Structure 1
């Protein structure tokens, strides 16, 4: 164990040490909840690329769980394969491989291994599968403007809470040219163009004004 810890300080192991540190950082972000609030975890693919894009995402396992959890699993696979490769190379060849060669090999192997790891995690923890949503699933939900006033051509930042209780932070504009949505007011998301959402102010607020 002491020998391995010393090896980790050498250049041959640097890519995998960095990967491990990043993995711990992402795990910490997930633990404190700062990783929530992202949309398009399953990217919207349109046109002729829809089937191929969906197939690639499914093969990689990215379509089965939130992207940060998928990335954490990928980094874990990369780190473990990299460390194992360098240890085996040192035992058989007398020295570890160059960091670049080892990183490429561990990267390819990590992607392949992670497809099985992701599928296994999705079966063991089925709740992961349902918390990743697309932009379309935010439609017909209400968002609250956090700062500024949303006008046509001048979007404002709003908070939307999905059916899983996750908060999403999006930019919104009024659906109608004449409407405005002030800070603290809520509005119904009715359509989106990319990451920009268009919303209708709540009727109760319009009456009150």
Structure 2
């Protein structure tokens, strides 16, 4: 029975299953690893791609408040279940499964719709995730610590910022003032943002006007 999952027409769903298990393991072991480097502003990314309709975000389940990896795991699960169901129905009706390209397109379409409902349901039963997902702008006026190198104007460095929920975020920062330098291990106040880059004011120069 399981031999069919190694055939060409089922292979894409088998691969998706392995990927889903891998992501699920990361989430289980890391207990929210999706916030470390993958805590992306989903709505901003979608807007940048030209999809700015709230209805589209709701339909995809992207506004459910779930971390990216949890949402992706749910999407893969819906894709796999739908794909296997499509191939089983096709085999029963036509005598053989559909070509994997047609089956995957159907599964992706139906699975994406189903995932909108699944993500909404997960968002309701996992309130701790809803409260820990913040807008990137909320990091402004919080202090971060430079982790690697030194941040100079035109030469950003990686910094760690902890939000009001205690979640760590890793962002790129550079000084707000041209003559400031924030060395490794020093803290600075995030004062503004330009895309993915944050501008900071070192604690030692906090008296300077913005």
**Residue pair 1:39, 1:134 contacting (<8 A) in 2 also:** no
**Residue pair 2:40, 2:68 contacting (<8 A) in 1 also:** no
Residues 157-172 of structure 1 aligned to structure 2 (within 5 Å): 157-172=158-173
Q: Secondary structure at the match of 1:105?
A: helix
Unaligned ranges ≥5, structure 1: none
Identify which of 21, 24, 28 aligns with 2:25. 28
Q: Which moved more, 1:184-193 or 1:85-94?
A: 85-94
Spell out, residue by residue over 1:7-54, the C-alpha distance to the aligned partner (whole angstroms, 9 max, x if none).
11111101111111111111122123232223433333799x999433
**Residue pair 2:74, 2:119 contacting (<8 A) in 1 also:** yes
Residues 58-207 of structure 1 aligned to structure 2 (within 5 Å): 58-64=58-64, 65-203=66-204
Q: Which moved more, 1:99-108 or 1:21-30?
A: 21-30
Distance in 2, matches of 1:99 and 1:203, equals 61
Q: Secondary structure at the match of 1:191?
A: strand
Distance 1:24 1:46, change over 3 A: closer
Q: Secondary structure at the match of 1:189?
A: strand
Distance in 2, matches of 1:24 and 1:164, equals 28
Spell out, residue by residue over 1:171-203, the C-alpha distance to the aligned partner (whole angstroms, 9 max, x if none).
100111121100000111111110000011114
Using the size of structure 1 for normalisation, the TM-score is 0.88
- Pairwise CA RMSD of aligned residues? 2.4
Distance in 2, matches of 1:109 and 1:45, equals 23
Q: Secondary structure at the match of 2:83?
A: helix
Distance 1:130 1:55, change over 3 A: farther
Distance in 1, matches of 2:54 and 2:151, equals 34
Deviation at 1:135, TM superposition (A): 1.6
Using the size of structure 2 for normalisation, the TM-score is 0.88
